[in-house]
Amino acid sequence: MLTPQRGTVLGNRYELTDHIATGGMGEVWAATDTVLRRAVAVKILRDALTDSSEFIERFRAEARHAASLTHPGIASVFDYGEDQSIAFLVMELVPGEPLSRMLAREGALPVNTALSLLAQTGEALHAAHTAGVIHRDVKPGNLLILPDGTVKVTDFGIARAVDSVPLTATGQIIGTAQYMAPEQASGGAATAASDVYSLGVIGYEMLAGVRPFLGDSPVAIAMAHLHQSPPPLPASVPATLRSVIERALAKSPADRPVDAMAFANEVRRIQIDTLAPPAVAAAVLGAGQSPATSAALAASTSVMPANGIGSATSVMPAGGVAVGAPLIIVRDPLRRQRRKLPGALLLILLAIVGVALALRAGDGGVPARAFLAAASTTTMVETTPAPTTVAPKATPPPPTPPADVAVTAPGIVVDPNALIGQKRDKAVKILQTLGFQVDQRSVSNSGADKNTIVGVEPSGTLARGSLVTLLISDGD
């Protein structure tokens, strides 16, 4: 039998160069693809797994499914092979460290760091779920963090293949009891909601520095997931974030966020609200959504401008709203003096909705005049006491396409009018938080105050990671 070591060539193609790690699934090596002349990672599976023909068959299928996923937050799977009784998986070589190592070194992470990692992971999981792939083993060891803070999720589909191998005292190879959803702990099937639960456990650990459930054995920990409530998160964690994590850790899948993207969007709103007024966040934030959904998300954020006077404190109905249905925006006049927002932002949001509906019209959707009808039925209701927010109704998950459908990166709507006039540091931080690369260019004779934004290039719906140039006044 072939012994993996430096210089070993697998499949007459992949030359092992450096040992990276050893885990429950096997060994991970850095390698060189001698055909394409590129660096890759090779995961060599444990002998105990490859002795099972059922596992091998199932793993081949799962590797094909994982290889179909195309998303910046998912480590790409390039190839699967077998060589002299060695089964191996060839993946993207990610120059980062696992979140598990970061947590072991640092304990609780800063809130903004946790928010960024949670949002990115939720978006990546949603892309996989949309393609019909459930991870089943979401844990810090499977989240690789790049030096710039980018998350790469690894090991999609492996857990399902491992499920086909009987677990013995020496075969407890997944080690996921600490992050296992209650339905998995009770022997039920894993779903997209199970991945959301596991992400909630990770979020709790990042914020508290410890896992929510501890025990002397995997069985004891699994029982805790089934029957115990997690201890409260530290008081330093914002109440809105505590609420998101608590709902993700709900025992019943139906009580959790409706999907991983809903979880990510809630986290993104909290993240952006710490950097800019909520109305700016509403105009800029569109992560993971089509233009139409981005507009709906902007309209359903916790605060948005209302005729340029005061700020809205709730929007009814929330969630999916049929075009042409009345939209009631409830405002609290007591908040007028605390946050004055330009009425132009409302026009920006309405313009985004109009563009979205125009795009839908090209696909057989409602015509643009339907949007005008919806706008004309908008009702403003003044209230002195704080209004009651109507919770969004749960919507069924989107239909699952074939597993060989590639999922591309979600777009993010960038409206330049939401950034023009902002100070440079704030605008840069907003764009970087949303995952963009930022360039800065000085502009003379702009008539604007020094270090304020006077232009944004490009704008519109951009892919995460795109380069956005901020035009900054030099004050002359």
Would you state the pLDDT for residue 26?
A: 75
Q: How many CB atoms lie within 10 A of CB 186?
A: 12
8 Å CB contact between 463 and 475: no
As a whole number of angstroms, the distance between CA 444 and CA 440 comes to 13
CATH superfamily of 97-265: Transferase(Phosphotransferase) domain 1 (1.10.510.10)
Residue that has been written with the tokens 């999720």 in this structure: 153
Across 82-86, 189-193, 205-209, the highest mean pLDDT is recorded for 205-209
Q: Which tens digit of pLDDT belongs to each residue from 109-135?
A: 999 999 999 999 999 999 999 988 888
pLDDT category, 50, cuts 50, 70, 90? Answer: low
Would you state the pLDDT for residue 398?
A: 47
As a whole number of angstroms, the distance between CA 27 and CA 368 comes to 56
- pLDDT, mean of residues 446-460: 82
Would you state the pLDDT for residue 24?
A: 62
**Residue (of 117, 126, 182) closest to 144 by Cα position:** 117
As a whole number of angstroms, the distance between CA 85 and CA 336 comes to 71
Q: Where are the domains of the chain?
A: 9-92, 97-265, 278-391, 408-476
The catalytic position among 18, 47, 137, 273 is 137
Instruction: Compute the mean pLDDT over every residue in the chain, rounded to the nearest whole number.
Output: 73
Q: Which tens digit of pLDDT belongs to each residue from 406-416?
A: 333 456 767 77
137 is catalytic: yes
| pTM for this predicted structure | 0.60
Question: Phi and psi for 303 in degrees, rounded to 5?
Answer: -140, 135
Q: Which CATH number fits domain 408-476: 3.40.50.620, 3.40.1050.10, 3.30.10.20, 3.30.43.10?
A: 3.30.10.20
| Helix residue ranges, H only, 179-277 | 182-185, 192-208, 218-227, 239-248, 260-273
Residue predicted with more confidence, 397 or 426: 426
Q: Per DSSP, what are the bridge partners of residue 144?
A: 98, 152
Domain 9-92: give its CATH architecture.
2-Layer Sandwich (3.30)
pLDDT category, 244, cuts 50, 70, 90? Answer: very high
- pLDDT, mean of residues 193-219: 94
Across 1-10, 213-222, 241-250, 313-322, the highest mean pLDDT is recorded for 241-250
| Helix residue ranges, H only, 92-217 | 99-106, 111-130, 158-162, 182-185, 192-208
Q: Which tens digit of pLDDT belongs to each residue from 147-187?
A: 999 999 998 766 554 554 443 333 333 447 899 999 988 88
Q: Tell me whether domains 9-92 and 408-476 share a fold.
A: no
DSSP letter, residue 288: T
